[in-house]
Structure 1
Amino acid sequence: MTRLASLRIFASLALLCVGGCSSLPTRARQDLLGLPRSDLIACAGVPDNRETLPDGEVLQWRQDAQVQGPLTLKTPFAFELDVGGHGTCHFVARLQQGRVVQIDYTGPSATLAGPYAACSPLVQACEKRIAP
């Protein structure tokens, strides 16, 4: 196998792994629908904000710490190059009659790993709980 072929295989595998980070929040948009409020709080933790609405409530969890992208290059003389970008995320769940009816994400959540990669830590435990 040539070096170029090896590099192509490595790059393809890296893209598949990176794509998994951003697909988790996308899957959670569907997977968490219908989840009872108590189960949502059990897997996502106590929400940072809560707003009561006439037809239900909105819960918000915040990931305000910068989540780095997967590629940071460091060289001598204190030179650093971060190619991945940084992101934060707010995970917002709307509930009606005690069940999740809508999931949204706000904030600059894009990193090299994808558009919602910074949101993955917020929904990871819930996705693991739901997975068969």
Structure 2
Amino acid sequence: MSRVASRVVLMSAVLSLSACGYFDSRTAHKAQLAMIGMTSNDLQACAGAPDKVTTLNATTQLYQYAYKPSSTGAFSVNPFGLGAVSVTGNGSACTAIMRLDHNQVTEVHYTGDNDKMIGNDGVCTPLIRGCMRQPESTMRNVNGGPFGPVSAFGSPSIPAQSQSAVWSGPAAVLPATSTPGTAGAPA
């Protein structure tokens, strides 16, 4: 095998290994649409009990799921002594944060060092994989073929939230800067 052919085979192998990040990222982003409307019971049936629950108000909770892979997939090769080629691998952790209002998922967010070589948020896929492989009845059906309606490189738009999901009390009252009859003098 010639030196050029060896390089082509090596680069093809590296690109093939990294391509799985593209599909993981698309799956994570598709879940951000498909899981909207899902009930709390169905979410826990396919994703498990959350690692942490934060109550925002009487109707809204945040469920957090954490994932830290044991390996990031980084490696180096030195084909034929021509110099090392390093592949940086994947992100090191993901936290999925799901907002539930009236016990239904209204938002799915990912945070952390969670990108793969190709695509964003791909490290998060194990957190939602059970739900995406075996969808629950309260999940949305998200179609669009192999290239739609989501991208591997960005999350879909966040749906508008109900007032009960974002508001937790009366508006803040600002302190008065003057009292009546003092013509703007500080109080």
Fold conserved between structures, TM > 0.5: yes
CA distance in 2, matches of 1:90, 1:83: 21
Matched, 1:125 2:158: no
Which structure carries more helix by proportion? 1
CA distance in 1, matches of 2:21, 2:69: 20
For normalisation by structure 2, the TM-score amounts to 0.56
Task: Name whichever of 96-105 and 58-67 sits farther off.
Answer: 58-67
Which structure carries more strand by proportion? 1
- Where do 1:12-23 residues align within 5 Å? 14=16, 17-23=20-26
CA deviation vs aligned residue, 1:76-98 (integer Å, no higher than 9, x gap)? xxx99442243210011000111
Matched, 1:25 2:32: no
For normalisation by structure 1, the TM-score amounts to 0.76
Instruction: Output the aligned Cα RMSD.
Output: 3.0
CA distance in 2, matches of 1:32, 1:100: 7
66, 69, 72: which is aligned to 1:68?
72
- Where do 1:77-92 residues align within 5 Å? 81-92=86-97
Matched, 1:94 2:88: no
The SS at the match of 2:32 is helix
Aligned residue type for 2:133: K
Give the superposition deviation at 1:56. Answer: 1.1
C-alpha change, 1:108 and 1:16, in structure 2 (3 Å) is closer
Percent of paired sites with the same residue: 26
CA distance in 1, matches of 2:67, 2:19: 24
Give the superposition deviation at 1:43. Answer: 0.8
C-alpha change, 1:16 and 1:108, in structure 2 (3 Å) is closer
CA deviation vs aligned residue, 1:34-71 (integer Å, no higher than 9, x gap)? 001001011111111101121311100001345524x5
> In terms of Rg, which structure is larger?
2
Give the superposition deviation at 1:127. Answer: 0.6
47, 56, 60: which is aligned to 1:56?
60
Aligned residue type for 1:106: T
Task: Name whichever of 111-120 and 14-23 sits farther off.
Answer: 14-23
**Conservation of the 8 A alpha-carbon contact between 1:63 and 1:119:** yes
Stretches of structure 2 lacking an aligned partner (at least 5 in a row): 79-83, 142-187
Stretches of structure 1 lacking an aligned partner (at least 5 in a row): none
